[in-house]
A and B are shown apart, each in its own frame.
Chain A
């Protein structure tokens, strides 16, 4: 998968991928074997959907998102641009899951309120992580492999554990930020500085070393 902004590639759909005719795939998107893209899902340009991944009805992916093998994104998941979802990650849509209603009848779509996971631009969700809707993952945040996210994630947070808690801050590069002063952080890769205030991190721009 290329990450060059504006790169134009042919859309490619593997022979055994199951794409509903009412789904929309953007230019240059690829869908691997045995993936399923349900009705009304919208996949933006330059996305890659991995082997046996599942995009539920009406799920939306922005530009250049990557959804790895066996990831399961139930509706109403929304990924903004350049979101990375690791292999086997699951985004749920039911806070109170039951197969049946209290009387014993099979629960149908009308019997529960769908809740969704929103992942904002640039964020990454690790392998086998679970995001329990409803929640929003902030821009450029990272969810570590195998974590279970149960609440909103701030921008630039590195989340880990079950339930996931913030263990670090990360920059746009994904590298852990170095604490270089009171409330001041620096990305070792890009040199960008960030300030922390009341549990939120804000970019300050690139400063010379």
Chain B
């Protein structure tokens, strides 16, 4: 979405969106209809928050993140730059969800410890995936649609299923890496090379 000239440098917030005055929304970020951004959330510049999406109190988004329709990001999630959150994705924040304490009194904020989802730069979370906090999604990783992520995802990993398991590696373009005869992995889109060591993928320029 290219902002109209008169709005350049400012966020574009639809009238039906509910952005708390104590939230920070960066320049040229687009907040679509019926989205809710809670108090103290910090949204970087150039982000897109889809229709009906929810950003919990104090949640942090970097620059150029895309949060699709009806995605629910509960606090204390942190998204680095360029993160894609697909439609109807949920990031949870309670490992032991209960409405009440054992004595049946209602659970209050002080009765539980919110745990967060951290998503590294460039990573993508597919449609309707669920990430159960506390969990960390590596940089440029890709979580397949409908997956349920229960443990940390390495950089560049593709994970799928319930619970999510690694089924491949992916480059920054989002296209799965191809393995050459010498075992080296290559991104068909950018031509970058990677190698795998002990379940970790390193871009060749990073590995020194």
A residues sitting closer than 8 Å to B (CB atoms) are 18, 34, 36, 52, 54, 70, 72, 74, 88, 90, 92, 96-102, 104-107, 128, 130, 132, 146-148, 162-163
Contact = CB atoms under 8 A, between A and B. Distances in A.
Contacts of B190: 102
Given A72-B70, A99-B64, A100-B64, A90 B81 contact: no
A99 B51 contact: no
A146 B147 CA distance: 11
B146 A130 contact: yes
A147 B86 CA distance: 17
A102 B173 contact: yes
A178 to B, nearest CB: 31
B114 interface: no
A76 B33 CA distance: 22
Contact of A96 (B65, B69, B88, B173): B173
A99 B128 contact: no
Contact of A98 (B34, B145, B173): B173
Given A54-B51, A99-B64, A90 B173 contact: no
Contact of B146 (A18, A34, A52, A162): A162
Given A72-B87, A96-B173, A106-B46, 4 more contacts: A70-B70, A92-B127, A99-B65, A106-B66
Contacts of A146: 146
Interface in B124-150: 124, 126-128, 142, 144-147
A98 B51 contact: no
B87 to A, nearest CB: 5
Contacts, number: 100
A54 B69 CA distance: 9
29 contacts: A52-B34, A52-B52, A52-B70, A54-B51, A54-B69, A70-B70, A90-B88, A90-B145, A92-B86, A96-B142, A97-B86, A97-B124, A98-B84, A98-B173, A98-B174, A99-B64, A99-B83, A100-B82, A102-B190, A106-B64, A106-B66, A106-B82, A132-B126, A146-B146, A148-B128, A162-B146, A162-B161, A162-B162, A163-B160
B122 interface: yes
Contacts of A162: 146-147, 160-162
Interface in B99-131: 122, 124, 126-128
Contacts of B175: 96
A107 B64 CA distance: 9
A88 B83 CA distance: 23
B122 A92 contact: no
B178 to A, nearest CB: 14
Given A96-B174, A128-B128, A130-B128, A148 B145 contact: yes
B14 to A, nearest CB: 10
Nearest to B126: A97
A97 B51 contact: no
B35 to A, nearest CB: 12
B200 interface: no
B189 interface: yes
Contacts of A18: 33
B38 interface: no
B88 A88 contact: yes
Contacts of B127: 72, 90, 92, 130, 132
A7 B120 CA distance: 53
A162 B146 CA distance: 7
Contacts of B144: 132, 148
B174 A97 contact: yes
The 5 closest A-B pairs by CB, nearest first: A96-B174, A148-B146, A100-B82, A99-B84, A102-B172
Contacts of B51: 36, 54
Given A90-B87, A128-B128, A132-B127, A99 B66 contact: yes
Contacts of A54: 51, 69
Contacts of A70: 70, 88
